[in-house]
Amino acid sequence: MTHGQTRRIPFSAAIIGSLILLGLSLSFAISVGAVSVPIETVWGVFFHKTGLSSADPTWSKGRAAIVWDIRFPRAILAMMVGAGLAMVGASLQAVTRNPLADPHLLGISSGGAFGAILALLHTGMFLGLLTVPLMAFVGALMATLLVLSVSQFAAATSADRLVLAGVAVSFVIMAGANLLIFFGEPKASHTVVFWMLGGLGLAQWTHLVYPLTILVLSGAWLYLQAPRLNAMTIGDETAATLGIPVARFRLSVFVVGALITGVMVAFSGLIGFIGLMVPHVVRLLVGGDYLRVLPVSALVGGVFLLWADIAARTVMAPEDIPIGIVTGLIGGLFFIAMLRR
């Protein structure tokens, strides 16, 4: 699939439009829920808590707690997870030259979930708060290496075969994860169901520093690789003639993708299809140049997951539907539409 270099929307307009949409979506996401909060109260609480306003609060302590302690961290986590998974999906589609590549389909998310479940049910929090993200990254990395090994073993050098290898590895890893749950403490297993179905309900301010750090550092690295990613979309031979060490570069993108995915999965559970859908929508808007695709994908991914979370919280309020169900439903329909194309 070749990505036309024609610019549908000027890059600056796409960035400004995405930022405005992100700000509006964030305001709405925090204001809606079982208890609706006026948008002016949302930002009043924000300015008051961050010391940007010294005006006396006109809202109750309960409202302030809902906005600041529950909904703000949740919405910020949604933006970070959406941005991270969209950037990973876009990068994987470049290095595999497969429009269907996505951290979920390539087994990376499953590996992250396996690591998180192992930490939660079996090893205990031996590194404190860092245990789950670290184990999730290790799981995602092992899954990545396993996919690459299987594709080598099966002589599956084509990009299509790599995705098939990913799907196969994903099934095996999820079987292993289910075994971990089966042998785990039954009382603790309900927390693991959250990881399997995806959810943002456990977001806390103290935890957000980990996904934020990984997203900023890894996202910056991917953005710096944009010219190489552009070359990889044309083909390995072209990339090699431009002096890119193709195999090593592909592996490094996989490792960085595993790092982002593992850490996001650790805090949000298994959320699929964002990495598949968002980059395609973005390429239709701004063309195929990765200097444009990556930043716009990050913003659109954040907006998409915010709205998925709004749907998860409001469709059956006051119950929360696991967000993975919402993204899976939308993603599955998108996948069918992609196959039709």
What's the whole-number mean pLDDT along residues 299-328? Answer: 89
Domains in the chain: boundaries: 11-340
Question: In Å, what is the CA distance from 167 to each residue of 13, 61, 162, 194, 329?
Answer: 37, 48, 9, 22, 18
Does 3 have pLDDT greater than 50?
A: no
What's the whole-number mean pLDDT along residues 288-304? Answer: 95
- In whole angstroms, what is the distance from residue 58 CA to residue 62 CA? 12
Question: In Å, what is the CA distance from 279 to each residue of 33, 79, 118?
Answer: 29, 16, 31
What's the whole-number mean pLDDT along residues 221-236? Answer: 91
Residue 234 pLDDT grade (very low, low, confident, very high; cuts 50, 70, 90): confident
Which tokens in the block code for residue 233?
């979309």
Tokens 């399997």 appear where? 196
Q: Specify the pLDDT at position 157.
A: 58
Does 50 have pLDDT greater than 60?
A: yes
pLDDT tens readout for residues 56-107: 778 888 888 999 999 999 999 999 999 999 999 999 999 888 887 888 878 8
Choose among 161, 156, 48, 176: nearest CA to 101: 161
**Could you write out the DSSP letters of every residue in 113-142?**
HHHHHHIIIII--TTGGGHHHHHHHHHHHH
Q: Specify the pLDDT at position 160.
A: 66
pLDDT tens readout for residues 175-197: 998 898 888 777 777 777 767 78
> How far is the first Cα of the chain from the last one, in angstroms, to the nearest whole number?
11
Residue 4 pLDDT grade (very low, low, confident, very high; cuts 50, 70, 90): very low
Task: Determine which helix (DSSP H) or strand (DSSP E) holds 297, and give its type and residue range.
Answer: helix 290-314
CA dihedral over 234, 236, 241, 243, signed as positive or negative: positive
Does 198 have pLDDT greater than 90?
A: no
Which carries the bigger pLDDT value, residue 156 or residue 32? 32
Mean pLDDT of the chain: 86
Q: Specify the pLDDT at position 250.
A: 86
Task: Determine which helix (DSSP H) or strand (DSSP E) holds 14, and give its type and residue range.
Answer: helix 11-31
- In whole angstroms, what is the distance from residue 113 CA to residue 258 CA? 12
Does 1 have pLDDT greater than 60?
A: no
CB 192 within 8 A of CB 120: yes
Q: Specify the pLDDT at position 5.
A: 46
| Superfamily per CATH, domain 11-340 | ABC transporter involved in vitamin B12 uptake, BtuC (1.10.3470.10)
Helix pair angle (159-183, 189-197), 10° resolution: 160
Does 251 have pLDDT greater than 50?
A: yes
- In whole angstroms, what is the distance from residue 38 CA to residue 19 CA? 21
Does 240 have pLDDT greater than 50?
A: yes
H helices present in 97-208, as ranges: 108-118, 131-153, 159-183, 189-197
Does 331 have pLDDT greater than 50?
A: yes
**Could you write out the DSSP letters of every residue in 40-53?**
HHHHHHHHHHTTS-
Phi then psi for residue 304, to 5 deg, are: -60, -45
CA dihedral over 208, 20, 23, 199, signed as positive or negative: negative
What's the whole-number mean pLDDT along residues 43-51? Answer: 88
